[in-house]
Structure 1
């Protein structure tokens, strides 16, 4: 036959990609090096392969916005082996950040010069204003994911182990008090290995594949598909089963088998503000009360049978597989709703997106019952392309065609009151916000705390928004000395010293910095620079005029960008990810965190003390005013933005 396949290179790419997942990374790279045909980017950088390899090896969570970026997944695979670190910041009460309480900060030094005085500090001894590495983490191995709870921070390692800092329920502090900081392994019931780390991959029933941190509890899904729930760090988990919902676990060795029936398998678990949930194939989104042992001393109890649960209507549809033929009713549901791709549990609502570009919500009633679902028509993707939704507590974000639309439960309440009006498309409902710094800026994910939120961009940078109550540091922008936080655009208000970002900050965003030299630079400049007397009037204007503060903070923001992108450092940044590349972000309550890939070699080459002869910036302001002083005017590194000062977050 003339079309007979005589070489593997004659196979079409869509066939080859079905074979690649069976190859280890080193074998796949060896195959790609055998001939030019396999060196083409569509094969060598196949996103499906590298995403699968990275998630299989390190349990990294998927990011739908960049799941088809093969270059990114390959770089992550290479760097996860040695460079995964955990940083946390914000309120450290209950040891939730995994840090020892900081000592009073000494005055900064400039090289070998004199000590530099700093502004007066409002720092509480449990507030961390800059990202700091979580203590005692290196011994855990590779950290793949992290999530913040109300009073805790929980880590997932590449071995499938969970570790928590802080307490799960801060309202039961006496019961949950922990004298030590640092991560503690979440335990399993008697009869199972003490932790996943001890069992490695030999126990698929306790090797955790995906988890979710609620306000007061942790939900996790194991490799076999078992649901586990924790309500206290020092108490063993409870295996969750249902009286009215069939669950199916994978048998040993088949936990990742794609050709097995899906009915009864658990796809995802989500822990909400005060409830638990899971997406179960064939059933849909199932919601139930968080589970606890009736008697705290009964630790041998290993299973909780949930007697009452609620199912979110019309969420069980799945696209047909193989030769299966749908009924007319199923086809209609596929057109009306579609298959659920992801969902979130807010304080009072469930919100989910489907594969036909639609977004729905449902309001919880008694016993988590959802009467009906409502399409949020103003958020529909008219191209039919799937969107994404992320959020917690009362706030959420929708990703659509490069836009990131933020809103909250007030918007859902307004839409819900119109649910009986079939002709209303919600176009007149207010509350949808499009923050300029988030639009078409390659945002991968958004994480919400109570009053602040973070955005992770595909270049590994984190931007921060909102308010940090009592100046707790949840924004991660500094602020240990009042002028330092002001330099990043934070305006402190009232007796409580709440720090709120100025409207100027929402045009280009404010990046969270990890470089130590940037902190030293800010401290030096906010102390007056090389000539404090000459800068005195400019600094007074900066402190008294919010508009001047906003523009000066933008100047500092631009100077701080691309700190490690100097051409002289290129040899140390061969993969282009920079010194600090954030892999994931999380926020809750008054604290934040990130899993960051750290290139120590590149970070060590960062510019140090290059500002020793610099002055506090002197700018020509957008209103035509020239800041006072004798030094030459400073230029913008990029260009002065056209600010939209109407943004209110």
Structure 2
């Protein structure tokens, strides 16, 4: 009978090792060099991250480092910073004398048995998913008004000053947020819409029939004030929750609920018992994408024979970005209301898709450029928020291309030299501040101070001339002791955010980041942990 090392590597990775408890796996790895190599396989640890922690890193382009992540996911930490109003910092113990915001990472506390694996920033809130698909929220979904203490979370203005868990019918797979609304995709591929945290609704529509592959949702994306859905077939559906037929249906249901007793979703023990309901309505299907050119300079030749279709979408203010399986970037505009979407259409963006066009951009082609122009490129990820979108490739030679709501088929992308060839795996966007996550666990931020949303420190304490600080000693001294701090200069060159303040000493690894409005958040693991205890799984 063959021994364990004699089995094919594929059999070990696919059929044997997934059944082995982690402590036994570590012991097995110590028995021989060959088994140690097999047990260190990155793809295997990626699967264990998904199976044991519900962590797929779908928001990033991570391809390596899964074993380190698995170890840290036993005790991940949640940090947020920026604008302090509306409860978005997730704590009532806010630091004093830092102005209108918290300008450095502040840890949000969760029960010891809760492992947060995904963090999503809304316009005035945060949403977090745990390893079991539980959804937690804090801040205010719609902070444009106030709610009474006696009101529940059926009221959209209700503030959660600390994390509250939403009690929902099924585990949640992914979340997206707009300015004052949110969407979620659950484990049954049902689409949920949140106009308040207490009364989410799902669609009853033949266009979202999860029994048929072509109408099964695979991604949900909130724009600034609209919602969008990508199906498995590559179709894009949109709807406007604050206007038209959807809004009418919501108002009618809210009236019925208010008249039929207590459906106010009042929180108890930091849990919100959601009053769920179903809306019978059809979203609008956008026209199909146009005929697109073949892209040269793409190393992944195996995709050449496959049908071109959308595989990702990213929504922002009245616009939507689409990405195909071959790396084409497209933009759909005029999504302001039900009546205008038909006037828009998909517009192919060659300067964001074709390596020959990117090579000609001044950032790479200018005589004084220090950047090596890419020889190959495939855009694999997109993100968008408010007026900005980003299309980027990954790996050591990652290319980051920025655009905005006015971008068209002739527009040149904005290229920040300090972000290129940097192993960027995620780019997140606030209103006026931005962040980029590297595969090495560094989070870089740049843009406007935005009440501390860059997370680079309390400006009067930052050395003069450093990112996040003032330009002169006079400006720095003038700011000391003032609550209404004058904004320091915008940060043009991305700078590293540090997570080792106060009780958070020690080396940290940031594995996910998010931004919106005037705030930012990150998921972080400690690298200085005991090897065996770090792999514990309930």
Aligned position for 1:225: 189
Deviation (angstroms), 1:55: 2.0
Match of 2:332 among 356, 362, 366: 362
Deviation per CA, 1:484-542, whole angstroms, max 9, x where unpaired?
57543434799972333354xx1xx32111222699xxxxxxxxxxxxxxxxxxxxxxx
SS in 2 for 1:74: helix
- The answer for the alignment partner of 2:36 in structure 1 is 39
Counterpart residue number, 1:258: none
Is 2:19 the counterpart of 1:23?
A: yes
Name 1:131's counterpart in structure 2: 105
Q: What SS does the aligned partner of 2:489 have?
A: strand
Residue-pair matches, total: 453
What TM-score do you get using the length of structure 1 for normalisation? Answer: 0.62
The answer to whether structure 1 residue 269 and structure 2 residue 220 are counterparts is yes
Cα distance in 1, alignment partners of residues 380 and 41 from structure 2: 23
**Corresponding residue to 2:114 among 137, 141, 152:** 141
Could you tell me which residue of structure 1 aligns to residue 314 of structure 2? 344
Q: Distance in 2 between matches of 1:349 and 1:597?
A: 35
Q: Which residue pairs with 2:345 in the alignment?
A: 372
Q: Which residue of 2 aligns with 1:481?
A: 460
SS of equivalent residue, structure 1 residue 478: coil
Contact in 2 for aligned 1:350/1:364 (Cα 8 Å): no
Q: Residues 246, 283 of structure 1: CA spacing in aligned structure 2 closer, same or farther, 3 A cutoff?
A: farther
Deviation at 1:316, TM superposition (A): 13
Query: How far is the alpha carbon of 1:303 from its aligned partner?
Result: 0.6
1:99 maps to 91
Alignment of 1:536-615 (within 5 A): 579-599=507-527
Instruction: Give the drift of 1:151.
Output: 0.6
Residue 306 of structure 1 pairs with residue 288 of structure 2: no
The answer on 1:511 being equivalent to 2:496 is yes
Is the radius of gyration larger for structure 1 or structure 2?
1
Gaps (5+ residues) in structure 2?
148-154, 258-262, 264-274, 293-302, 356-375, 531-538
Aligned pairs for 1:248-259 (under 5 A) are 248=210
- Aligned residue for 2:203? 240
The superposition leaves residues 596-633 of structure 1 with CA deviations (integer Å, 9 ceiling, x where unpaired) of: 1135669xxxxxxxxxxxxxxxxxxxxxxxxxxxxxxx
- Residues 354 and 17 of structure 1, relative CA distance in 2, 3 Å threshold: farther
Q: Could you tell me how far 1:437 is from its partner in structure 2?
A: 2.2
Q: Distance in 2 between matches of 1:483 and 1:57?
A: 41
Return closer, same or farther for 1:468/1:308 CA change in 2, 3 Å cut-off: same
Q: Note closer, same or farther for the CA distance 1:6–1:515 as it changes in structure 2 (3 Å cut).
A: closer
Is 1:154 matched with 2:127? yes
Map of 2:534 onto structure 1 = none
User: Of 436, 439, 451, which residue of structure 2 is paired with 1:455?
Assistant: 436
Aligned partners of 1:315 and 1:268: how far apart in 2?
A: 21
> Which protein is richer in helix relative to its size?
1
2:162 is aligned with 1:182: yes
**For residues 179 and 341 of structure 1, do their structure 2 counterparts lie closer, same or farther at Cα, with a shift above 3 Å needed?**
closer
Match of 2:380 in 1: 387
Q: CA deviation at 1:87?
A: 0.7
Whole-angstrom CA distance in 1 between matches of 2:137 and 2:290 = 32
Q: Deviations over 1:334-370 (max 9, x none)?
A: 8797233322012122212222222222223452447
Q: Which runs of 5+ in 1 are unaligned?
A: 106-122, 193-205, 250-260, 318-332, 416-425, 520-563, 565-577, 603-649
**Helix, strand or coil: the match of 2:45?**
helix
Change in 2 beyond 3 A, CA 1:498/1:306: farther
Within 5 Å, give how 1:514-529 maps onto structure 2: 514-516=499-501
TM-score, structure 2 length as denominator? 0.74
Call closer, same or farther: CA 1:67–1:131 in 2, change over 3 Å. closer
- Local SS of the residue matching 2:70: helix
Query: C-alpha displacement at 1:28, in angstroms?
Result: 5.7
Q: 1:67 to 1:19 in 2, by over 3 A?
A: farther
Q: SS at the partner of 2:174?
A: strand
The question of whether the paired residues in 2 share the 8 Å contact of 1:86 and 1:593 is answered with: yes
Helix, strand or coil for the counterpart of 2:280?
A: strand
CA shift in 2, pair 1:227/1:29, >3 Å: farther
Tell me the C-alpha RMSD between the 2 structures.
3.5
Contact 2:462–2:469, Cα closer than 8 Å, also in 1: no
